[in-house]
Amino acid sequence: MKNSISKFLGILFAVSIVISSCSKDKPVSCDASVIENDIEHIEDLFDNFDDDPTTTNCNKIKKGISDFINKYEDCDEAGAEVDEAREFLNDFDCSDL
């Protein structure tokens, strides 16, 4: 599971770099500072899970990633990253905890 977490955090970092190049006329969903805050929130969820690997904390990660996808799926510059986040979400399994 740690490999999956590391991969996803890498994806989030890539999203923040890609999104930071969005122009000012893009919707709020492409604003780099907003995305960075959301990434920090997801990183906090992963930290909480590392400290207490429970099904509840795992499900919080899944919800956080799902919320991230829903919020940024309309940002053209993040299309590939959103697709990767969807793939990660589909493979991220909380049932074995």
With b for 16 or more beta-carbon neighbours within 10 A and e for fewer, the 41-63 pattern comes to: ebbebbebbeeeeeeebbebbee
Residue 71: inside a domain:
yes
Range of the domain at 75: 2-91
Token representation of residue 29: 């969903």
Identity of the residue numbered 57: N
SS3 category, 95: coil
Please tell me which residue, 4 or 34, carries the higher pLDDT value: 34
Residue 84: inside a domain:
yes
> For residue range 31-76, what is the model confidence (pLDDT) as tens digits?
777 878 888 899 999 999 999 999 999 999 999 999 989 988 888 7
Q: Say how many domains are in the chain.
A: 1
Residue 96: inside a domain:
no
Residue 16: inside a domain:
yes
Highest-pLDDT range among 21-35, 41-55, 77-91? 41-55
Residue 28: inside a domain:
yes
Residue 97: inside a domain:
no
Residue 87: inside a domain:
yes
